[in-house]
């Protein structure tokens, strides 16, 4: 990946940070987008730039505001001279049980998980075509197996899977578009109410009987960018076998 430039949305923390570290270690220059995680983003930038100077740039943006997307892409290209891959990782996640759903919930969850990936891909498409690059969308196994009480989130991720396949048709043959659907990798940041018994119940539904870790997703992202030239329009489950276990 030496000399390649990769834009990662929501790259400051958790799975996003693991993706950034993996791609950076492989030689890529990174543009790390963040919204409200400025301290984490700056710390990650310092860490990676210390390892390889001038290899990481930060961009702050609210992905619910699509008007900023052309500027994000142009800033990336102006700084590094190219854009080779877009990783749509940023995501809102919260419960929306029937009876409590309002329009703000819809706009937030659909906006971050589906609308932003579409309009970022559209803004990035000309440069990705020039570089014969790729797009990686971070989906969720709950796109196909909806999670109870998470109606809008599950809808949004199902839409992201559809968007992945549609963009693969629209942007091929120059641009490959794939998605990764994580299973039990990290518990939500506000998951203090999920006790150990509940966590073990989730893990018991995997074939491998264990939770994954963020680098499992990062490795899959690396594979799709660096080692999968004949793959497009695919959704890869990284879930310990959860998606095939009844």
Tens-digit pLDDT profile for residues 135-166: 999 999 999 989 899 999 999 999 999 999 99
Q: Which helix (H) or strand (E) holds 135?
A: strand 134-138
d(CA 125, CA 94): 30
Answer positive or negative: Cα dihedral of 236, 240, 241, 242: negative
Average pLDDT, the chain: 94
Question: What residues contact residue 54 under an 8 Å CB cut-off, 6+ apart?
Answer: none
CATH number of the domain to which 107 belongs: 3.40.50.720
Instruction: Report, as residue numbers or ranges, the catalytic residues.
Output: 153
Ranked by mean pLDDT, the top range of 112-121, 187-196, 237-246 is 112-121
pLDDT-derived band of residue 76, with 50, 70 and 90 as boundaries? Answer: very high
Range of the domain at 63: 5-244
pLDDT-derived band of residue 190, with 50, 70 and 90 as boundaries? Answer: low
Ranking 63-77, 96-110, 184-198 by mean pLDDT, the lowest is: 184-198
Task: Please give the model's pTM, rounded to 2 decimal places.
Answer: 0.94
Tally the domains of the chain: 1
Question: What residues contact residue 105 under an 8 Å CB cut-off, 6+ apart?
Answer: 94, 96, 152
């Amino acid at each position: 990946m030496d000399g390649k430039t990769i834009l990662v949305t929501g790259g400051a923390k958790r799975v996003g940070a693991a993706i950034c570290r993996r791609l950076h270690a492989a030689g890529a220059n990174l543009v790390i987008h963040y919204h409200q995680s400025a301290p984490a983003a700056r710390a990650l930038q310092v860490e990676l730039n210390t390892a390889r100077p001038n290899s990481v740039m930060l961009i702050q943006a609210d992905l619910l505001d699509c008007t900023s997307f052309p500027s994000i892409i142009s800033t990336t290209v102006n700084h590094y001279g190219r854009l080779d891959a877009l990783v749509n990782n940023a995501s809102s996640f919260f419960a929306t049980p029937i009876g409590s759903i309002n329009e703000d919930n819809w706009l937030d969850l659909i906006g971050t998980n589906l609308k932003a990936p579409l309009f970022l891909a559209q803004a990035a498409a000309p440069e990705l075509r020039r570089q014969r690059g790729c797009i990686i969308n971070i989906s969720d196994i709950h796109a196909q197996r909806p999670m109870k009480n998470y109606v809008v989130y599950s809808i949004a991720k199902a839409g992201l899977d559809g968007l992945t396949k549609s963009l693969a048709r629209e942007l091929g043959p120059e641009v490959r578009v794939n998605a990764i659907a994580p299973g039990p990798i990290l518990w939500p940041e506000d998951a203090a109410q999920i006790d150990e018994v509940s966590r073990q119940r989730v893990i018991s539904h995997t074939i491998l009987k264990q939770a994954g870790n963020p680098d499992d997703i990062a490795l899959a992202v690396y594979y799709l960018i660096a080692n999968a030239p004949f793959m497009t329009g695919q959704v890869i489950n990284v879930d310990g076998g959860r998606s095939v276990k009844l």
